[in-house]
Amino acid sequence: MSKDVAKERSMIIQKEMIANHFMELSTAKETGKKVVYTFVPGNISELILSFGMLPVYPEINALQSGMRKKSGDYIRDAEQHGHSEDVCTYVKCDVGMMINGNIGPTGEKIPNPDLLLLSYTGCFTFLKWFETLERLYPGVPVALLHTPYQEAHKITPEMTAYMVKQLKEEVIPKMEQVSGNKYDEEKLKAALRNSSKVEQHIINIFDTTKHRPSPIDAYFAGVYYIGPINSGFRGTPQAVDYYAELYKEIRERIENKLGPITPEGVMEEERFRLVVEGPPNWTHFREFWKLFYDMGAVIVASSYTKVGGVYDMGFRVNPDKPLESLAEYCMNCYTNLNLQQRVDLLSKCITDYHADGFLVNSIKSCNSFSAGQLMIMQQLEKKLEIPIGFIESDLVDPRYFSYSNIKNRLESFFQMLEQRKMIIKTA
């Protein structure tokens, strides 16, 4: 692989945004800013920011460590601390990073948490993760925001009321206490107005894959596109600017009939269009992407890019009902949907974006994604008669990425798609 990585303009902007965020974090103790650790699914960053506090997302740090080839050592250290082989590797990577001085992806130290905001959204491990952090940072306050699962395919008014009550009685008082600032609803509303604009941009951006060739890759590049809203910029004017620029850039590509930009260059020929379910592998991210690039496979939609919020089914924040909006946003996250809703969502993606195949990357570490994937596959195959592929890897444990096994299965999958195309053409 060459050293030169092709990059979009918006990626450079994003890099600066993120660098600034980590810079701000590294000086938080000097500037007196308080730091809140919280999770990506159901990240109510607008609320955190409205108190003038800074968010830290442990999963983001873990995946960054994975991409920078540091996760292997971190996981080893966490295992030496008693975490078993089967524990989520995001947790172990995060713990390993903390016991090694908590140095973040930019090489700057990440400050210790002043508050752990446990927004529990479809992942049981989050509870245990912050229990571990509580032990690592004795005395740190924890605010629990329990998100009810969409068991009956919908959000009821009672569910929203239950969450709003938690926000009012548990989360906001703790935030006031930690930050020393009073809850300011106008500030929150202003942030949500920004979020609302960003949501529309995101919908527009991911909807561009209906073009042929698709101007973007909605999985490998998609994870960069969802970066700002999942790493501290939800509700900020910078996020609005970033997404406006990104959308503009993508529209230019559509006009010029250009395919996605990949680290190997622009994809010249779109041979296969896929919908992918499950998170990517981070330790071999570029190799993983290249396997698809080499085969001319473009991902036209992925469930993973909806992990920090699902907007396809009509949900938008309503700035006039700020706390209700935050509650509904959390309940609408992908991993909080029940399996039938996931099938419906994926099915819509496959149909709307004319996918040739559906591929599952089953993650050893991640129950909230992997549980139910077989059922999802079988239902989609039955309902849409779409060819299904299945590969296995892990989030950030390099021991579970077998390049040759994945390549072998992907080759079979792509040949299967090609053979099908040939038959359909001649039939």
Partner 1 sequence: MKKYFLGIDLGSTTSKAIIIDENDHIIGRGITNTRANYTVATEIARLEATYNARFTLLKMKLQDEIESRPDYKRYIRDVESVFQYLQFKRRLDRLSVEFRDTITTTFSGEKRDAISGYVDGIVSRIGPSVLDEFLTGQLGSKNQFFRDIVSERYNKEIAGLGKDFFEPMMLVYDKSITKVENELTEYDFRELVDHSMALLNDKYAGLGESSSEESGLAFDSELNLLKGNYKRIYDSLKGHIGFVAGLDIHITDMVGTGYGRALLPFPEKSIRSEILCHAFGAHAVFPDTRTVLDIGGQDTKAIQVDSHGLVTSFYMNDRCAAGCGRYLGYIADEFNISLNELGPLAIEATKEVNICSTCTVFAAAEIRELLNVGQKRSDILAGLHRAIVMRAMSLLARSGGVRNEFTFTGGVARNQAVLKYVSDLVIQNYGKDIKINVHTDSIFMGALGGAMFARRNVIN
Q: Which chain residues interact with partner 1 by CB under 8 A? A: 374, 377-378, 381, 385, 387-390, 392, 402, 405, 408-409, 411-412, 415-416, 419-420, 422-423
Based on CB atoms, which residue is closest to partner 1, 252 or 381? 381
Based on CB atoms, which residue is closest to partner 1, 54 or 395? 395
Task: Please state the closest distance from residue 284 (CB atom) to partner 1, in A.
Answer: 17
Contacts of 79 (CB under 8 A, 6+ apart): 85, 92
Based on CB atoms, which residue is closest to partner 1, 169 or 381? 381
Task: Please state the closest distance from residue 219 (CB atom) to partner 1, in A.
Answer: 20
Task: Please state the closest distance from residue 339 (CB atom) to partner 1, in A.
Answer: 16
Q: Of 229, 201, 205, whose CA–CA distance to 217 is shortest? A: 205
The alpha carbon dihedral of 287, 87, 152, 382 has a sign of: positive
Task: Please state the closest distance from residue 350 (CB atom) to partner 1, in A.
Answer: 14
Percent of the chain as helix, strand, coil, to the nearest 5: 55, 10, 35
Based on CB atoms, which residue is closest to partner 1, 204 or 402? 402
Quickly count: other Cβ atoms within 10 Å of residue 86's Cβ: 8
Task: Please state the closest distance from residue 404 (CB atom) to partner 1, in A.
Answer: 9
Task: Please state the closest distance from residue 178 (CB atom) to partner 1, in A.
Answer: 46
Based on CB atoms, which residue is closest to partner 1, 128 or 409? 409
The alpha carbon dihedral of 75, 23, 38, 372 has a sign of: negative
Pair of tokens at residue 336: 């909080």
Q: Are 283 and 401 in contact (CB under 8 A)?
A: yes
Task: Please state the closest distance from residue 387 (CB atom) to partner 1, in A.
Answer: 6
Based on CB atoms, which residue is closest to partner 1, 302 or 362? 362
Pair of tokens at residue 353: 């974006």
Q: Are 303 and 348 in contact (CB under 8 A)?
A: no
Task: Please state the closest distance from residue 373 (CB atom) to partner 1, in A.
Answer: 10
Exposed, middle or buried, 48 (CB in 10 Å: 0-12/13-18/19+)?
Answer: buried
Based on CB atoms, which residue is closest to partner 1, 80 or 408? 408
Task: Give DSSP secondary structure letters for 148-179.
Answer: ---TTSS--HHHHHHHHHHIIIIIHHHHHHHH
What is the Cβ-side half-sphere exposure of residue 26, based on CA atoms within 13 angstroms? 15
Pair of tokens at residue 191: 């942030």
Based on CB atoms, which residue is closest to partner 1, 43 or 379? 379
Task: Please state the closest distance from residue 388 (CB atom) to partner 1, in A.
Answer: 4
CA 287 to chain centre: 20
Give start and end residues of each alpha helix (H) in 53-115. Answer: 58-67, 71-80, 89-99
Based on CB atoms, which residue is closest to partner 1, 1 or 423? 423
What are the DSSP E strand ranges found in 367-410? 388-393
Q: Are 53 and 73 in contact (CB under 8 A)?
A: no
Rounded distance between C-alpha atoms, residue 418 and residue 421, angstroms: 5
